[in-house]
Chain A
Amino acid sequence: QKEVEQNSGPLSVPEGAIASLNCTYSDRGSQSFFWYRQYSGKSPELIMSIYSNGDKEDGRFTAQLNKASQYVSLLIRDSQPSDSATYLCAVKPRSGSARQLTFGSGTQLTVLP
């Protein structure tokens, strides 16, 4: 089992719709969770971070965390063509671990005009 799993997609949604991206992780002790957006040929850009169970909203983006079920999701409301990119889920391990931020394989999102 991979440490961080995402649906690879591609995921296509029409402009204005809600895009839902999901991520599961295997280490139950993981503490912090991140969503990065990466445009083709560019470096990852941090768009959301979440630490506590529940929802965290920032503009059109909402991150949802459920530690009991070991999943984290990202909702993008009113999707725009400029949101078309690969979205990487990243997980920070538990305290005391020598491991660092671990990335999922990414979900490719296309927003159709």
Chain B
Amino acid sequence: DTEVTQTPKHLVMGMTNKKSLKCEQHMGHRAMYWYKQKAKKPPELMFVYSYEKLSINESVPSRFSPECPNSSLLNLHLHALQPEDSALYLCASSQGGGPLTEEGYTFGSGTRLTVV
């Protein structure tokens, strides 16, 4: 079992729908991340929430919006998505200790999103 929990595991949505992906961690980590991964490609960073500050990858379209209700939750709101947004969406967390550590990111099991 992963210590980063993502729900739902699978989601099919229409282009006019609004849905949310949820991510929760109970490790006391101070940083959480959303990644998007297309088939046979590496994960691409979308958002970072670290020490109560949100950082956004400027290439991410506005139809994706993150929300951090508290330090252990990071949601991703989806609205008016396109078929090309179909991908595996990965949530991760880390202690947020900065570059001078060997600490990696712990990933959740992901949400497989299909936009029809």
Contacts and interface: CB of A to CB of B under 8 A. Distances in A.
B57 to A, nearest CB: 9
Interface stretch (B12-20, B40-48, B70-78, B79-87): B40-48
Nearest to B4: A43
B101 interface: yes
A46 B106 contact: yes
Contact of A97 (B90, B99, B109): B99
Interface string A80-113: 0000000010101111011011011110000000
A43 B42 contact: no
Contacts of B105: 46, 101
B102 interface: yes
B37 to A, nearest CB: 9
Interface residues of A, number: 28
Contact of A95 (B41, B42, B99, B110): B99
B41 A105 contact: yes
Interface in A13-51: 30-32, 34, 36, 41-46, 49-51
Given A42-B109, A44-B107, A46-B106, A95 B2 contact: no
Most A CB contacts (10 A, CB to CB) among B88, B99, B102, B112 go to B99
Given A34-B104, A50-B102, A43 B33 contact: no
B55 A98 contact: yes
A88 B101 CA distance: 19
A43 B99 contact: no
A65 B109 CA distance: 29
Chain B facing A: main interface SS: loop
B21 to A, nearest CB: 13
A105 B102 contact: no
A43 B108 contact: yes
A11 to B, nearest CB: 15
Contact of B104 (A41, A90, A104, A106): A90
Contacts of B110: 42-43
Interface of B: 2, 33, 40-43, 45, 48, 55, 88, 90, 98-110, 112
Sorted nearest first, the 4 A-B pairs with minimum C-beta distance are: A103-B42, A31-B99, A49-B102, A43-B107
